[in-house]
Amino acid sequence: MPLINLPTFAPDLLADFASLGTERVDTPVIQPAEPFLDMAGEDLRRRIFMTESETGQSLCLRPEFTIPVCLRHIETATGTPRRYAYLGEVFRQRREGANEFYQAGIEDLGEGDVARADARAVHDALFVLGNRLPGRTFRVVLGDQSVFEAVVAACGLPSGWQKRLIHAFGNQDRLRKLLSELSEPVTKGVFGPEVERLAGLGLIEDEAALARHIDETMQATGYSTNASRSPVDIARRLREKMTLASTRLDAGTLDTLRAFLAIEAPFADAPKVLFDFARTAGLAIDEALPRFEARAKALADAGVDPASITYRSAFGRPLDYYTGLVFEITANGNPAVLAGGGRFDRLMTLLGATTRIPAVGFSLWLDRIEQAISEGASA
């Protein structure tokens, strides 16, 4: 039995989902913990309620629906495209409010027209909110992780630094810290005396020679029989750490990254702003920008008012599986996020799908919507 009451508007919400051509699905409250720990991101990982099975398998109370819905789709071997709707309890340790609350949403799997699917996600979230909160003015904040990834790649950073920055996308404090690290001089002795000694022997630049040296050392100390990683793995990881720690960007490249992250524009102007930025910075991000422009056209075709959308280049959401569009919706100037979502094209494959399945979706925070309805009724 749930500890909280289902919102009174839930039946109407399900009717809206049905009118949008979705199939209602449910997933178990107890979920395998590994997919969330591996793919959901640090913010969610630290708020999960963990438990374990009688056999010692790590389990958790369902903290969100996207991963369970995707797992269910893979397990049932259902073809695509498919549009799933869900409504049920999720469990997270929260700073404010109950730790058990209701979420609802739509996951759109397998639609090949990415721009159309992205626009449909934003449109449908606004449609459902508008039916719950008639007369309210909604604001959409939109970002695009794929544009950020294209900018980072075009700046020529080592792959390790690209991964760090992409992982931090949406966390402005973390991004500022990483950019600060990239601007500071390398501290002398940062690698430790043993690594400095290996560098002095010329082994750091020669990965094969470094692996042989590590293997000989492990053999001599008897450690190799208990090693969890091979000498080749250790050498590769050590060289990667050295590259990360010793990489520093010139002032021009850092200014370019910071200039990109400072972009905020009305959505109607965003495609031109991004094209102008890329041309001025001399960055080759040609693949990402046409996709962004196609989404802008698809949103207009779907009837979404571009004046309600603000593009922020640094905007992301605290889930690691997003790959492109990310968005959140608020109402009447209240900062409480009522709906949020985005594109997660890599997630299905990571969860075990044998073919690539493009995917986008959104979730609704029903306790916040209920609060907004209550505030409107008492106004």
Q: From CA 275, how far away is CA 284, in angstroms rounded? A: 10
Per-residue pLDDT tens over the stretch 210-269:
667 666 776 666 665 445 567 777 766 666 666 656 667 788 888 999 999 999 999 999
Q: What is the pLDDT of residue 184?
A: 75
162-166, 185-189, 334-338: segment of lowest average pLDDT: 185-189
- Distance from CA of residue 154 to its chain's centroid? 21
The token duo for 75 is 């397990």
Q: Is the pLDDT of residue 189 over 70?
A: no
Lowest mean pLDDT among 90-99, 207-216, 310-319: 207-216
Domains and CATH numbers, the chain: 10-152+262-378 (3.30.930.10), 193-246 (no CATH)
Q: Is the pLDDT of residue 108 over 50?
A: yes
Residue 190 banded pLDDT, cuts 50, 70, 90: very low
pLDDT at 194: 54
Given a cut of 60, whether residue 1 has pLDDT beyond it is no
Q: Classify residue 13 by burial, with Cβ atoms within 10 Å: 0-12, 13-18, 19+.
A: buried
Long-range contacts of 97-101 (CB under 8 A, 24+ apart): 97/367, 98/3, 98/4, 98/367, 99/49, 100/2, 100/3, 100/4, 101/4, 101/365, 101/366, 101/367
With 0-12 / 13-18 / 19 or more C-beta atoms within 10 angstroms meaning exposed / middle / buried, residue 9 is middle
pLDDT of residue 163: 86
Q: What is the pLDDT of residue 225?
A: 47
Q: For residue 162, how many other CB atoms are within 10 A of its CB?
A: 15
The CB density around residue 295, as the number of other CB atoms within 10 Å, is 25
Give residues with Cβ within 8 angstroms of 63, minimum separation 6: 36, 40, 44, 47, 48, 49, 90, 91, 92
User: In the predicted model, what is the mean pLDDT of residues 198-212?
Assistant: 59
Q: What is the pLDDT of residues 41-82, one digit of tens each?
A: 777 888 899 998 999 899 999 999 999 999 999 999 888 899
Q: What confidence tier does 197 reach under pLDDT thresholds 50, 70, 90?
A: low
- CA atoms of 347 and 361, how far apart (whole Å): 12
